[in-house]
Amino acid sequence: MARDKIALIGSGQIGGTLAHLIGLKELGDVVMFDIAEGVPQGKALDIAQSSPVDGFDAHYTGANSYEALDNAKVCIVTAGVPRKPGMSRDDLLSINLKVMEQVGAGIKKYAPDAFVICITNPLDAMVWALQKASGLPHKKVVGMAGVLDSSRFRYFLADEFNVSVEDVTAFVLGGHGDTMVPLVKYSTVAGIPLPDLVKMGWTSQARLDEIVDRTRNGGAEIVNLLKTGSAFYAPAASAIAMAESYLRDKKRVLASAAYLNGEYGVKDMYVGVPVVIGAKGVERVVEIELTGKDREAFDKSVGAVQGLVDACKKIAPDLL
Ligand code: APR
């Protein structure tokens, strides 16, 4: 069986890490694309030269032309500009919106059957714009945010409780930003919900609130430390989990920015919710009942995403 072709649109920090992980996991052949000349070619060659040492078989190419996307099974989009200290994800909006229009046109022309994962920020608005610009079915275009936000939450919780990250599950809803909604009662250690762990004396409510807060600001914490860019190892690993679930039809339940058409009371918007990802793309939106403070927080987050989408509509009315 021929290997699947995975196209990475954007070959910067996340793109390079994605390319390496795809090789290490033998998920397919890799095409790295970027507007910067030489960068995708150089990274592709460098990673290919590591394959004999690590013992993986994958073909790597670098390209500056969209033709290279031809027949890709998966496209992962990181093209655009990352955050600098003091910049919010929203500041990136107008720059990256233009990039999504170009990338969407390229995917439409050369890879219309692909499963597309958008990582470019501000995520929920960019994935919305990318779907519009590419015209691909909604279930084939998703945004990576929830897996990353959940992973950050899981890591902080595992560290707090001194248990394996494998035994911590987390549930994060809403937009990828300061308004995201980590759902404490659906987050567990080996099936024990966090509120029960507070009652059991494993941690205090105040500590838990701090961890939730740190999760919400997880991206900014790294931007402030790095000073020259934003996180890339964990974002890349998260997108790979989504790509793998699609390519291997694993049907994993992964929090993703997915198109909502009435679910959670939201229409024509991409917002972070749990979805089943399999060979058909987004095969199901998992709709849980939200009440009280969780509903309020979710609605606030949806409002923030709506604000960004409205800003996109103003800048690029042709996208509609
Ligand atoms: N077409 C293709 N590639 C582009 C374009 C474009 N129009 N504009 C910029 N790029 C490329 C840049 O040349 C660069 O190599 O996108 C790449 C982005 O890489 P980095 O600057 O290293 O950014 P990275 O850390 O990978 O993050 C990418 O993901 O998490 C988000 O906020 C982050 O929006 C950012 C994106």
> What's the 14 CA to ligand 1 centre distance in angstroms?
8
pTM attached to this predicted model? 0.97
Tokens of 316: 């690029």
pLDDT of residue 88: 74
Active site residues: 176
Rg (CA), the chain: 19
pLDDT mean across residues, the chain: 95
Judged by DSSP in three states, 7 sits in strand
> What's the 140 CA to ligand 1 centre distance in angstroms?
21
pLDDT of residue 320: 67
Give the residue whose CA is nearest to atom 7 of ligand 1. 99
**Contact status, residue 51 vs residue 62, Cβ threshold 8 Å:** no
- Establish whether residue 45 lines the binding site of ligand 1, counting it when its CB lies within 6 angstroms of any ligand atom: no
Give the residue whose CA is nearest to atom 4 of ligand 1. 79
Query: Which pLDDT tens digit goes with each residue over 31-83?
Result: 999 999 999 999 999 999 999 999 999 999 999 999 999 999 999 999 999 77
> What's the 81 CA to ligand 1 centre distance in angstroms?
5
Give the residue whose CA is nearest to atom 16 of ligand 1. 79
Query: Which pLDDT tens digit goes with each residue over 158-180?
Result: 999 999 999 999 999 998 888 89
User: The dihedral of CA 228, 311, 315, 14: what is its sign?
Assistant: positive
ipTM of this complex prediction, to 2 decimal places:
0.99
**Contact status, residue 303 vs residue 277, Cβ threshold 8 Å:** no
- Percent with pLDDT over 90 in the chain: 90
Q: Residue 247 pLDDT more than 70?
A: yes
The pick from 21, 34, 65, 130 for probing ligand 1's pocket by mutation, whose C-beta has the most ligand atoms within 8 angstroms, reads 34
- Establish whether residue 18 lines the binding site of ligand 1, counting it when its CB lies within 6 angstroms of any ligand atom: no
Query: Which pLDDT tens digit goes with each residue over 262-279?
Result: 999 999 999 999 999 999
Atom of ligand 1 nearest to the CA of 36: 13
- Establish whether residue 34 lines the binding site of ligand 1, counting it when its CB lies within 6 angstroms of any ligand atom: yes
Range of weakest confidence among 73-82, 85-94, 129-138: 85-94
Report the alpha-carbon distance of residue 33 to residue 266 in Å, rounded.
Answer: 34
Half-sphere exposure of 219 (CA within 13 A, CB side): 25
Backbone angles phi, psi at 137, to 5 degrees: -60, 145
Query: Which pLDDT tens digit goes with each residue over 206-215?
Result: 999 999 999 9
- Establish whether residue 229 lines the binding site of ligand 1, counting it when its CB lies within 6 angstroms of any ligand atom: yes
